[in-house]
C-alpha cells in the first residue's frame, strides 16, 4: 500500500461537474493498493498518517500531526501510484490491485483512519473519473509505502 500525502489548505473532488467531497486545512491522501496488502498494512499506514508530524507549531517547525491540529482528511483512490515505468514510455499498472481486491482494502483503510483520527474521513469515488483540486500548503508532499517500513 502506498500513499502520497499532501498537506493542504483545502482540497476537493469533483465527479461529473459535482463536488462530492471537500475539506479545509488537513491532508489529501492519494492511496494505491496492491494484491499483497493486508490488514497489517492498513493499520500501520493509517497510524503513520494520523501521527505524521508535518504541520507547523507555534514556531513554524513541522512538529504537529493532523490529530493535534484537528485537521480534515480526504482519501482518493490512485492505482497509478503503482505504475511501472522501467520499460518503454507507457506505464504498466499490473502491480495495482484489481477492484475486487482493492475496494475492500480501500474501504478498510478509510474506516481505520476514521478510528485513528476520531473523525469522519471524506473520500472520492473508487474507480470514478475524478477531478481533484487542492491548494498545497508549503508545499509539503510525503510518499509512504507500507512495504518499506524498515
Residue 3 binned pLDDT confidence (cut-offs 50, 70, 90): very high
Tell me how far apart the alpha carbons of residues 127 and 117 are, in angstroms, rounded to a whole number. 25
Domain ranges of the chain: 2-145
CATH number for region 2-145: 3.50.80.10
Entry pTM: 0.95
Residue 111 binned pLDDT confidence (cut-offs 50, 70, 90): very high
**pLDDT for the residue numbered 149:** 79
Return the SS3 of 34. Answer: strand
Mean pLDDT, range 64-84, rounded to an integer: 96
Query: Which residues participate in catalysis according to the annotation?
Result: 80
Half-sphere exposure of 13 (CA within 13 A, CB side): 21
Q: Tell me: the pLDDT tens digits for 39-48?
A: 999 999 999 9
Amino acid at each position: 500500500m502506498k500513499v502520497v500525502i499532501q498537506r493542504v489548505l483545502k482540497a476537493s473532488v469533483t465527479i461529473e461537474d459535482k463536488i462530492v467531497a471537500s475539506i479545509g486545512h488537513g491532508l489529501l491522501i492519494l492511496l494505491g493498493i496492491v494484491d499483497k496488502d493486508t490488514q497489517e498494512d492498513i493499520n500501520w499506514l493509517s497510524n503513520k498518517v494520523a501521527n505524521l508530524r508535518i504541520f507547523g507549531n507555534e514556531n513554524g517547525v513541522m512538529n504537529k500531526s493532523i490529530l493535534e491540529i484537528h485537521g480534515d482528511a480526504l482519501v482518493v483512490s490512485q492505482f497509478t501510484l503503482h505504475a511501472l515505468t522501467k520499460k518503454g514510455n507507457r506505464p504498466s499498472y499490473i502491480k495495482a490491485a484489481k477492484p475486487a481486491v482493492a475496494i475492500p482494502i480501500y474501504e478498510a483503510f478509510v474506516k481505520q483512519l476514521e478510528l485513528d483520527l476520531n473523525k469522519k474521513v471524506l473520500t472520492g469515488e473508487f474507480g470514478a473519473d475524478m477531478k481533484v483540486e487542492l491548494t498545497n500548503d508549503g508545499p509539503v508532499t510525503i510518499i509512504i509505502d507500507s512495504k518499506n517500513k524498515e
